[in-house]
Amino acid sequence: MEEQVGALWHRWITRMAQPSTPEAAVTLTEMEKTAGLLFRAFGGDPGLRVVPASAQQQGARRGWLARIAGVGDTVEQACRDGETLQLPGQLAVLPSRALNRDLYLWLIALAATHDSVEADATWWARNQQATQITLARYPGLRSRYWRLVEAVLKVRMSPTQLPPDEAAQETALRQALQEPGSVDQWPVARRPLSAVPLWLYPPPAPAGTQRKRKDASADARQPSGQPVARDRQRRRAEYTDLPERQNPFLLPFRAESLLSWAEFVRVNRPDDDDSAPDAGRAAHDMPVLSLAQDDSSTAARVRFDLDLPSASEDDLPLGPGLPFPEWDYRKRALLPDYCAVQEMLARRATPCELPLLLRRTAQRLRRQFEVLRPARGWRSAQPEGEEFDLDACVRYAADSASGEAGHERGLYRQLARQERDLACLLLADLSLSTDAWVNNHGRVIEMIRDSLFLFAEALAATGDRFALYGFSSRKRQHVRVQRIKSFSERYTATIRGRINAIKPGYYTRMGAAVRYATLALGRQVAARRLLLLLTDGKPNDLDHYEGRYGIEDTRMALIEARRAGLYPFCVTIDQEADDYLPYLFGKDGFVLIRHPEDLPRQLLLLYTRLTA
């Protein structure tokens, strides 16, 4: 009975103390596609991703009801950093959905103009400058802005209800909102100002110094089986030292030790298959995620996850390797000879036939794709040939009768072979993430292997020139490109053996691999040169090659490929591809396969459309 009364009291007091209006709430999920599109349309940095903001402690004055209910101490503040535009996951501070939606639009426009303000100005001065610039650039937003200002001021605490120092700060804020640029000095108060929903805040500083990630860390594999819920919210984290293990006995007992015992739980995720069911909810409630490295070792367990194999067991290197540049977006410069790319050939790739489970599908695809095989056909208006071209003769006679200068060339039809002037290179991601299980029947690497088998069978039937490569990396000096089939090789049992021998590698330094593929495909003389990239995730590596750095380098490599006359296209099974692939390949330059088991069939349908 006490628990039921307590639960009822908690729900009632929480609902009464909430300053928001749930029925008027607008979520970022509803605005997600619009947010990214508008941010770029307003001139914002196209490399930024739109993600939910994390809740931050504000320390502002709260009403007595909010203090009793324990709500309102954290707030999701809009901000932007070098990689993301962080917007509140939900806006319900204003009384109607239309106003909350307009608030999202205003924050997006304001964030797009923040690059034009003074970098060393204070956050409140930057917001005033950005507001002035936004209203000047986009006069259509003025009416919305004034409606938002009026609605925001109505829900804020009046200066008459605040102590003198906080009242002065609140008065200055109201003036800054109503007359942007008019407040030069910000009053000092004992408590910070309550959150201003119309402004962007500075990004939260890191909670602790970051430690360098170990090369052979448990970056390795994601547990297979159950799908992982997508959580894109930015969170604060810190690295800290693991506290000494307490004596399991409660003697001598100190009551204050109970809190410290509850803060840290020793977990060994690589060895523990049972994930904590409440871990996600607990992490969501924590303002700062603290990570500690446990240096203890597990007995009788040796890990070689990311160790390089010995020379006798590794694949065969082909040549000395090639240096390639890498784009550093922070310096806005191409770093020459920064990456070393080594082409490899499988050492123990035994020639084999097509797997039995794929033979019926491959037979059907060969019959379908043989229609695209070059055949003999008639070429019209030729200077010589097997027979007269009736249409050309009629045009010549009409031109002569009308007095126009006709010519006798091009009056024949010639029977000749109709060639498809096409070259395609398929570059497959063979990083460690492809070792994850798609379902209970197979892994990602097996889906890629089947795709390569069927892709090669179909293109061999068409007679198109094609090449197959895979890639993975382990830092910039070890980018591996696996040769499966080059343009000069025929598709034989040897090539099928190489496809059968592919295995998950290391990480995904995509920019260097794309540059290598651009060099190989650029040597082909063809009217259309197609670069197909098959991947299951975004660029990453053990060093700084992750986040926006890897995205920007890959984008620059793709720009270089287009300048070389290639047509790059991406096929991915990454469910978060909409966050970064439009920036890399353009709106129509990629396709997302929702069900990875459909990858082999979808890849061939896509090739048919791209080469029609």
Residue 308: predicted pLDDT: 58
Residues with pLDDT less than 70, the chain: 9-10, 12-21, 62-72, 205-313, 371-379, 405-409, 415-420, 612
Residue 273: predicted pLDDT: 43
Helix (H) or strand (E) holding 290: strand 288-292
How far, in Å, are 32, 88, 178, 315, 589 from residue 78 at the CA level?
A: 14, 6, 20, 49, 31
Residue 303: predicted pLDDT: 41
Phi and psi for 572 in degrees, rounded to 5?
-135, 155
- β-sheet bridge partners, residue 376: 417
Residue 373: predicted pLDDT: 65
> What are 374-388's pLDDT values in tens digits?
555 666 777 777 788
Residue 318: predicted pLDDT: 86
Which residues fall within 8 angstroms of residue 189, CB to CB, at 6 or more apart? 163, 165, 166, 168, 169
Sign for the pseudo-dihedral over CA of 575, 580, 582, 586 = negative
Residue 450: predicted pLDDT: 92
Residue 292: predicted pLDDT: 63
DSSP string computed for 536-582: SS--B-SSS-STHHHHHHHHHHHHHHHHTT-EEEEEE--TTGGGTHH
How far does CA 607 lie from the centroid of its chain?
Answer: 24
Quote the tokens at residue 134: 């936004």
Residue type, 107: L
Which residues fall within 8 angstroms of residue 299, CB to CB, at 6 or more apart? none
Give the start-to-end residue ranges of the domains of the chain: 2-178, 322-350+360-370+420-610, 375-417
Q: Are 571 and 593 in contact (CB under 8 A)?
A: yes
Residue 231: predicted pLDDT: 55
Name the fold adopted by 322-350+360-370+420-610.
Rossmann fold (3.40.50)
Which residues fall within 8 angstroms of residue 233, CB to CB, at 6 or more apart? 51, 52, 53, 54, 89, 284
What does pTM read for this prediction?
A: 0.71
Residue 587: predicted pLDDT: 81
Residue type, 391: D
Q: Are 470 and 429 in contact (CB under 8 A)?
A: yes
Which residues fall within 8 angstroms of residue 70, CB to CB, at 6 or more apart? none
Phi-psi region of 475 (alpha: psi -120 to 50; beta: other; left: phi over 0): left
